[in-house]
Chains A and B, each alone.
Chain A
Amino acid sequence: MNILLVEDNEGDIELTQHAFKRGGLVSQLAIAHDGVEAIDYLSRRGAFSDAVEPDLILLDLNMPRMGGRQFLEIVKQDEKLKCIPVIVLTSSDAPKDIRECYERQANCYILKPFDLQKFMVMVKQVEDFWINVVQLPHQAVATR
């Protein structure tokens, strides 16, 4: 399982890497620091020429240059990329943010838990659900 984490906060990046390392089911966790970098990664542009297409994208909302909403708009209108599930992972519980993400075809919206324990449990659940429970369009994505 390959995951692309789009997140600008170094603290959150470290924390998420830490949590996925514990789970051990994710083979690669790539990092993009904002929407622009993430689009570059997905298009294998610049420094990302040998990027692996992710099975799953974890997306923060408020980031410099290009935030989560705009990233969703681009990815979900792209024939090649729209199949990749995007999980919004954010500190914001504002109803407006939640609605706007689903309107832009986010696959789910998760509030980052305040407690470390709960954060670890959340990552474990994400891992378990998206790796063990659901079927992903690996074939379709891989053959293009």
Chain B
Amino acid sequence: MVAASIVKNASSESGGITAISGISSNILIVDDRKENLIATEKVLKNLDSTIFKAGSGNEALSLMLRHRFAVILLDVQMPEMDGFETAALMQDHESMRGVPIIFVTAISKEEKYATQAAAIGAVDYIFKPINPEILRSKVKVYIDLYRQHEQILQLNKTLSQSNEELERFAYICSHDMQEPVRMMNSYADILNEEYRQFLDARAQKYLEFIKGNASHLQKMIFDILTFSRVGREEPRTEHIDCNQMVREVLEEFKPVIERKQAHIACDPLPGLEGCPTLMHVLFQNLIGNALKFQDGSRQPTISIQVEFANGEWTFSVQDNGIGIDPAFNDRVFAIFQRIHRKEDYPGTGIGLSTCKKFVEFYGGKIWFQSAPGKGSIFFFTILDHTRVAS
């Protein structure tokens, strides 16, 4: 019987629901006097919202069980259940709690009523006769807030969806793509080793192409995986001996260092609380780049330094390599951006973007200074709360 007496506005009357942001919103007006309902409805007509009207507290609660509202206009004086009682019941209900309530009253104008209203969740307390312009603008604020909130919820949903897709993609990379690449590489090896006497020079060259590209593809898959894993795993920190970390990275590059006769100078580095994978990725990429981007005209010299200020370590890796043309400044940290030909300086174009994503995930920054033909310095920061405390 309650539901039967409810009058719902046709959406055509409320004027294009989806007009502004495509997010619909509902307004609930509660008043025991029909002429008040009609008057208020008229005031709120052009707010791109659907207006629901209830003639009693019970009707209001019944509507709230079935719809979501951006804002409620609630008359204080009503028979059976007054506005305060209605609001108190709404506060008890999980799905109704938090909907902004604007009380409208003709007689209870004393301060104490307004205070009582605030205590049961009212966001405003206004007096009749209502000023249409003021009411409209107040209601509009709550409708805008509601729409923004809904938009954020929708965005979050989209985000978690694309995160799931990314996770699936990372998994496909790690398994399905690695397997065929490994097959290509292995069988190129077998042909090369066991069937070499049947292959002429050109066939051997083609095999090298297959093998070289399989290796490159494998490196790309590995790098994409590292990139996509950043941020998906829980932040994890432990004690790191940076000297040890750099020694390990230099050991990985030993053949290149020896071949290019590179000179490496490293400050005594600190022990710190950090993510070991992060530190390894940073040193590996920055030292690797410093060694790679050399044109052979001089002995590669690399210097690793560190400073502590304002609760963070700033590390720098400086080289005397080819430097970076300022024209490419904003592409340096972008994924899949290669500034040089692969033949001259091989790489996947993922390394520095992984560094940036990773370092920012842990609250740090990464940037560089460079002079073409003279060299580059890459800086990155690592937060260290333990040192401030001790």
Contacts and interface: CB of A to CB of B under 8 A. Distances in A.
Interface stretch (B184-192, B330-338, B349-357, B359-367): B184-192
B179 A115 contact: no
A116 B174 contact: no
Contact of B189 (A12, A93, A97, A115): A115
B230 to A, nearest CB: 14
B176 interface: yes
Query: Per DSSP, are chain B's interface residues mostly helix, strand or loop, or mixed?
Result: helix
Contact of B185 (A9, A61, A93, A115): A115
B68 to A, nearest CB: 37
Contact of A62 (B176, B187, B189, B218): B176
Interface in A72-122: 90-94, 96-97, 112, 114-117, 119
B175 A114 contact: no
A114 B189 CA distance: 11
Interface residues of B, number: 16
Given A114-B218, A116-B193, A91 B186 contact: no
A115 B211 CA distance: 10
Contacts of B185: 114-116
Nearest to B178: A91
B147 interface: no
Contacts, number: 46
A119 B182 CA distance: 10
A11 interface: yes
Interface size class of A (residues with CB under 8 A): 20 to 34
A12 B183 CA distance: 7
B216 to A, nearest CB: 12
Given A114-B218, A116-B193, A62 B175 contact: yes
A9 B183 contact: yes
A136 interface: no
Interface in A1-57: 9, 11-12, 15, 18
Interface string B285-308: 000000000000000000000000
Interface in B152-181: 171, 174-176, 178-179, 181
B175 A61 contact: yes
A101 B218 CA distance: 24
Nearest to B175: A92
Nearest to A117: B189
A116 B190 CA distance: 8
A52 B187 CA distance: 31
Contacts of A90: 175
B170 to A, nearest CB: 8
Given A114-B218, A116-B193, A117-B189, A94 B183 contact: no
A97 to B, nearest CB: 8
Contacts of A115: 185-186, 189
Which of B179, B182, B186 gathers the greatest number of chain A CB atoms within 10 Å?
B186
Contact of B171 (A9, A15, A94): A94
A116 B191 CA distance: 11
Given A91-B178, A115-B186, 20 more contacts: A9-B179, A15-B186, A18-B190, A62-B176, A90-B175, A91-B175, A91-B179, A91-B182, A92-B174, A92-B175, A92-B178, A93-B174, A112-B182, A114-B181, A114-B182, A114-B185, A115-B185, A116-B186, A116-B190, A119-B186
22 contacts: A9-B179, A9-B183, A11-B183, A12-B179, A12-B183, A15-B183, A15-B186, A62-B176, A90-B175, A91-B178, A94-B171, A94-B174, A94-B175, A97-B175, A114-B181, A114-B218, A115-B185, A115-B189, A116-B189, A116-B193, A117-B189, A119-B186
Interface of A: 9, 11-12, 15, 18, 61-62, 90-94, 96-97, 112, 114-117, 119
